[in-house]
Amino acid sequence: MSDTPVKQQNTAAFYGQAAASFVVAMIATAVGIYHLQADAWVRAFLAIAVLYLVTSAFTLAKVIRDRQEAGQIVSRVDQARLEKLLAEHDPFEKL
């Protein structure tokens, strides 16, 4: 049994759904802020807060993904070293 992780591929439909969901959420938030019964500076503050939240969410997602990928690379290197040691080992070799 192999411990190598299965590489998951997202389908085009899943990618499209994620992108469409993001666009709809941003438009709905923008419309909600625009129609908010508040002063312009309050609406501007909320708009900037939403933009900051979105950019920080993208950054966090990238950092998590990068850390996960780095862990997989280390795991693969360790596994390759172990396989090399096992391949070179001869249990019947006379000492």
SS (H, E, C) the chain: CCCCCCCCCCCHHHHHHHHHHHHHHHHHHHHHHHCCCCCHHHHHHHHHHHHHHHHHHHHHHHHHHHHHHHHHHHHHHHHHHHHHHHHHCCCCCCC
Residue 6 belongs to some domain of the structure = no
Residue 4 belongs to some domain of the structure = no
Number of domains in the chain: 1
Residue 2 belongs to some domain of the structure = no
Residue 21 belongs to some domain of the structure = yes
Quote the pTM value.
Answer: 0.61
Higher pLDDT, 4 or 27: 27
Q: What is the pLDDT of residues 34-88, one digit of tens each?
A: 999 999 999 999 999 999 999 999 999 999 988 888 877 777 777 778 888 777 7
The domain containing residue 28 runs over which residues? 12-88
